[in-house]
Every structure is written in C-alpha cells, then in structure tokens.
Amino acid sequence: MLTFVLAKAGYEVITADNGQQGLDKAKAWRPALILVDMMMPQMSGAEFIRRLRSDLVSRDVPIIVLSAYDDKALIEEAREAGADGYLIKTIPIEELLQVIDDHLKVGQTMLTQRGLSLNRHRREQFDFRK
C-alpha cells in the first residue's frame, strides 16, 4: 500500500525484503530518503541505521523510521542509532508526504554543502481523494 501511494505521489520507490538487502540497495542506489521499520528480518532497524550512518557515502541520507509501535524505548533506540524521524504507521498520508518533503529538503541542503547530490524525485501536487 505505501509503495503504491508513494509511487502515485511521484516518487521512485525501491523496496527491500530485509535489512541486509536494504543496505545493499541503499549503497547501490544512493536514495534521497529512506523509510525503515524497526522490526525487520535479518537485521533490526537500529542496526540498519547505524550501518548506513557509518558509510561515508550514505551517512547524510535522511532516515525516517515508520513503525507500528509507539514505544518510547524503540523511539530512543532509533534516535540514538541516527534516525532523523520516527513516525507511527497510522499517520495520515498527507502528513507523511509532508514529512518526506521536509526531510528531502534538509538532506539535499546537507549534501549540497558537501558538494554531493541525491537521486531525487519530487512529487507533484496530488489529491488523495481521487
């Protein structure tokens, strides 16, 4: 569902079935932003974030945790690992897209300062009621 919504909103979406596959794809594709769950096969979301943050090429890519769990310990674990945000999966789509846009702007600014760029696709205005 989320993949469909993001694609419909104009984003190029790359998915992974587990944490290791996500790391491999993130390093190969250099995405503009990463949405990650804290509970994944083969590797926790926190471990995924720590590994991505330790990579010189991908360390500044915005990472937002999108989790079913509104748990203070998980939120703190994500923050300590280096997540830029933590959202609960019940977030309205319009708000999620706004958070994504905001993080994309911040991520692009950081990389521009370092002389780098992201694989970035901006969404057009999209009415979810259609």
Number of H helices, E strands in the chain: 5, 3
**Chain segment 45-73, per-residue pLDDT in tens:** 999 999 999 998 888 889 999 999 999 99
Domain 2-113 has CATH 3.40.50.150: no
Which residues share a beta bridge with 67? 88
**Chain segment 13-55, per-residue pLDDT in tens:** 999 999 999 999 998 888 889 999 999 999 999 999 999 999 9
All structural domains of the chain with their residue ranges: 2-113
Q: How confident is the model at residue 116 (pLDDT cuts 50, 70, 90)?
A: very low
**119: which DSSP letter?**
B
Q: How far is CA 56 from the centre of its chain?
A: 17
